[in-house]
Structure 1
Amino acid sequence: MSSVSSANGLAIDGLVSGLKTTDLINSLMSVEGVPQTLLKNKLTDTNAFISSLQTMNSLVQTLATKATDAAKATSLDVFGATSSSTGVTVTTSTGASVGSVGFIVGSTAAAHTGVTAAKSTWADAAGPITIVGADGKQTTVTPSSGSLDDAVSAINKAGAGVSATKVAAGTAADGTKLYRVQFTATKTGADGAFEVYRGTGADVTAGTASNVLGETGAAVVTQGRDASVTLWAGTAAAQTVTSATNTFSDLLPGVSVTVTQPTTDPVTVSVSQDATKAQAVASGLVDALNAVASYFSSNTAVTSTVSPTNGTTTTKAGTLTGDATTRDVMQRLTSTMSQPVNGKSPSSIGIVITKDGDFTFDADAFQKALSTDPQGTQAMLSAVAANVGAAASTASDKYTGSITTSITGQQSVAKDLTTQIDSWTDRLTARRATLQAQYSALETSLSKLQSQSSWLAGQLATQSS
């Protein structure tokens, strides 16, 4: 016989009685805990229901977003651009429209660059260095010494729009290592041009400062320049447009042109409506609704499984089966997507409802409608999308949406269930302690009775002798 101690108290296994008290208590607690088990099962089901509602809500919100975009009066105004030259690339953005323009690329943008003569030190001692920009702005720095490294460091920290780099330039006759300092403007374009002087700003103004890039052996490697294109070249209307970078963002509205090399022949940039992108707007709306419908269908389906061991059939309903809120949302979305606009069916622009209530997108029908009646196609799509968007927003609004409200309600249910489960945990803990105390007292009483019995037996034996 034995006794077992636990963190929750003393569990006695029949020290005197021979009963398996731990097993008895566990059996009793199993019965006592049935209400809590039922609550836990209900909480699990509630959390699964909440998760399904949240997923459904997220899908409907995505549909609402796509519908809002598609409902815009310009949702099909998506354009693509082409260039007749590999040296010119073009992209479109908001505001683009159909059109074309021709031009000749005169030059590409370059950053002003210069190098000093080969030298081993910048100067014999620390002295001021003044950088003068194309706009005349002067920036003066004084290195901590006359070394090349200190001069380079001081210039790079000056914030004058110029970077400096020390570059190996061989060795002098006496074996001393020589270097050149390369100066490069931090931005391309003529406005990035600069000059470097030995001396203060006052010395530069007075004309007594020494131009570093004008010294013997120094040179301006690249003159800072703008990119340029000439529109309508060879005509009386010829016009040259410049850019500090190789990108021109104002040749056509909503069109960005980037040049990489000069051209001698005219380059033509053309902008036209991108039928593929326009189709994606309409088909994306259908895809978003089908995603909602597919999730709802899979989570309202009733499935049956047969046990391979005993052949028993188990039936399980989806987490959204019987939920009136999501069922009503699906009915509204389906109805608005298929609703005629001014007596005309959405199928006229490729939005087709099947006999099963699903939607498909007919790309050929859409492209035909877009090419023959672009304005009518836009109006139809905008109207359908507006209807669908309104229904989707009513269901998924983060404050007042019907699905959102249902989620909030179920979360309150889950919170209440959790509180009840916690309360039952405390109650069952107390009940277990009570049972352990009762059985411990039983063993103690039996032990006393056993001791008394032994004493009496001893007394009787003494009397008999």
Structure 2
Amino acid sequence: MGISLDGLSSGLDTTSLINQLMTAEAAPQDQLKAQVTKTNTVVTALQGLNSRLATLADAAATVAKVGSLDLYTASSSSPALSASVATGAAAGELQVVVSALASAQVGVSAAMATWPSPSTITIVGHSGTPLEITPASNSLDDVASAINGSTAGVTATKVASGVDGSGTTLYRLQFSSKTTGADSAFTVYQGSAADVAAGTATNALAVPGAAVIKTAADASVTLWKGTAAEQVITSSTNTFSDLLPGITVTAATASADPVTITVSRDDTQISAVASGLVASLSSAFVLIAAQTAVSTSTDATGKTVTSAGVFAGDSTVRGIRQSALDAASAPINGHSPGEYGIVLSKTGTISFDQAKFSAAMASDPKTTIAAIQTIATRLSAAATAASDKYTGSLTSKITGDQSQVRNLGDQISAWDVRLASRKSTLQRNYSAMEVMLSNLKSQSAALSSQLSSLSTSTSTGTTG
């Protein structure tokens, strides 16, 4: 810490004087700092608006896509079938009888202590191509492990099966196909692929004590049952994706009674999409209004201070708002968007009128949907023109302001150097002044001393 030698000769508070001078000297830098703070506040507000406009652009672009509002819901008259909507659905109805569910093949071997020698196993699937598997040993654990690690599409599980007359513990191997459907059928042979081809291999599921517990089978449903048009549709799983366009049907249980699948337009979901689009636009308008509004406050003296929002007088923001407003409120083929539930108020805000939208959908759904998509297309263009990360007008303004902040920062740094140099100069000058005053005082004291001595000497001579 430095030692203060304030006013040792002059009696002045030189540190205070220097600080006051430096405060005056730093006024231009303080103005630059204030400008940085103000510009950063504007940038933050612009970034918030840009984010909301980007969200609006994405939402509007999604709604504007062909088929985006072709939304449907599917229902079933029975728990035996469930239906869900995918892409490309259309309104309609179909009666279906669930004839059978899909199943996987399950079989068990005869009870044994170890797999018969030789240990080679061959599994033949529905394609007829044999897959030869060679376990590490004849142990049932090794056999099961080899099958589970193969590409046969079959799992093997060792299951306890009592003891034989000699007290030896016996087991069975349960074989299950990994998938359902008729094509998942398989046969397990004791022997090599060559033995299978020669007809000398043993079918492990056909020997005494072995059995096929469940056969592989497809699920099947019957359309128009009992009529001349009756048609059976099969699937390797319990799911059918081709009964109706864009509808996935899943069978839960077999049923002799017809199940009705109904597909209808989902007005609730369409309304939610339209409402969400308006809400996204309104969110941007609310932010602009909040950042433009004039507010009043009271300063420390009790005086009322009026402050305008950061967007007040900003022509770029004003132009963006007007473009979005025009996109949402301009007529469509001579009809006001208000007829479709997108209502413009006297104060320039946008709201969604559920009742009007529902009435329009009930009266003319095709025209209503087309109108919403037209508005979405216009909003997408307006919002993108403002918020595009490369060419957006708002993006460009943000980039320009950020560049200004960087330039101001460089100027502030330059002022730091300039002020440090100025302060050092003032400290040297005041120190030199104190030294000079100290020397003058010393000289004055010495001169006074000499004069006093001279006066004394003269007085003594006169007396003598």
Q: TM-score, normalised by structure 2?
A: 0.84
Question: Of 89, 111, 127, which aligns to 1:96?
Answer: 89
Superposition map of 1:27-426 within 5 A: 33-72=26-65, 74-122=67-115, 127-170=119-162, 177-306=169-298, 311-426=302-417
Aligned CA distance change for structure 1 residues 441 and 205 (closer, same or farther; 3 Å):
farther
Larger Rg: 2
Aligned residue identity for 2:294? V
Aligned CA distance change for structure 1 residues 421 and 247 (closer, same or farther; 3 Å):
farther
3-state secondary structure, aligned to 1:240: strand
3-state secondary structure, aligned to 1:13: coil
Aligned CA distance change for structure 1 residues 358 and 205 (closer, same or farther; 3 Å):
same
Aligned CA distance change for structure 1 residues 217 and 438 (closer, same or farther; 3 Å):
farther
In structure 2, the gaps of 5 or more residues are 451-464
3-state secondary structure, aligned to 2:205: helix
3-state secondary structure, aligned to 1:340: coil
Report which stretch shifted further, 357-366 or 250-259. 357-366
3-state secondary structure, aligned to 1:91: strand
3-state secondary structure, aligned to 2:232: strand
The CA deviation at 1:192 is 1.5
Report which stretch shifted further, 425-434 or 115-124. 425-434
Is contact 2:105-2:186 (8 Å) kept? yes
Is contact 1:123-1:147 (8 Å) kept? no
Give the equivalent residue in structure 2 for 1:8: none
The CA deviation at 1:257 is 0.6
Distance 1:441 1:222 in 2: 109
The CA deviation at 1:328 is 1.0
Aligned CA distance change for structure 1 residues 436 and 232 (closer, same or farther; 3 Å):
farther
Is contact 2:121-2:132 (8 Å) kept? yes
Give the equivalent residue in structure 2 for 1:7: none
The CA deviation at 1:315 is 4.1
Distance 2:429 2:167 in 1: 102
3-state secondary structure, aligned to 2:90: coil
Aligned residue identity for 1:137? T
The CA deviation at 1:318 is 2.6
Is contact 1:12-1:439 (8 Å) kept? no
Aligned residue identity for 2:104? A
Is contact 2:116-2:190 (8 Å) kept? no
3-state secondary structure, aligned to 1:102: strand
In structure 1, the gaps of 5 or more residues are 5-10, 461-465
Is contact 2:278-2:350 (8 Å) kept? yes
Aligned residue identity for 1:224? A
Report which stretch shifted further, 235-244 or 168-177. 168-177
RMSD: 3.6
For 1:326-350, what per-residue CA distance to the aligned partner results, in whole angstroms no more than 9, with x for missing partners? Answer: 1111112112211112222111111
Distance 1:262 1:189 in 2: 15
The CA deviation at 1:249 is 0.6
Q: TM-score, normalised by structure 1?
A: 0.84
Distance 1:155 1:324 in 2: 74
Is contact 2:104-2:216 (8 Å) kept? yes
The CA deviation at 1:119 is 3.8
3-state secondary structure, aligned to 2:104: coil
Aligned residue identity for 2:92? G
Is contact 1:12-1:21 (8 Å) kept? no
Distance 1:228 1:378 in 2: 38
The CA deviation at 1:63 is 2.0
The CA deviation at 1:108 is 1.3
Is contact 1:75-1:378 (8 Å) kept? no
Is contact 2:6-2:15 (8 Å) kept? no
Aligned CA distance change for structure 1 residues 31 and 215 (closer, same or farther; 3 Å):
farther
3-state secondary structure, aligned to 2:200: coil
3-state secondary structure, aligned to 1:299: helix
The CA deviation at 1:397 is 2.4
Aligned residue identity for 1:322? G
Is contact 1:134-1:193 (8 Å) kept? yes
Aligned CA distance change for structure 1 residues 423 and 216 (closer, same or farther; 3 Å):
farther
The CA deviation at 1:294 is 0.9
Is contact 1:121-1:146 (8 Å) kept? yes
Identity of aligned residues (%): 47
Aligned residue identity for 2:221? V
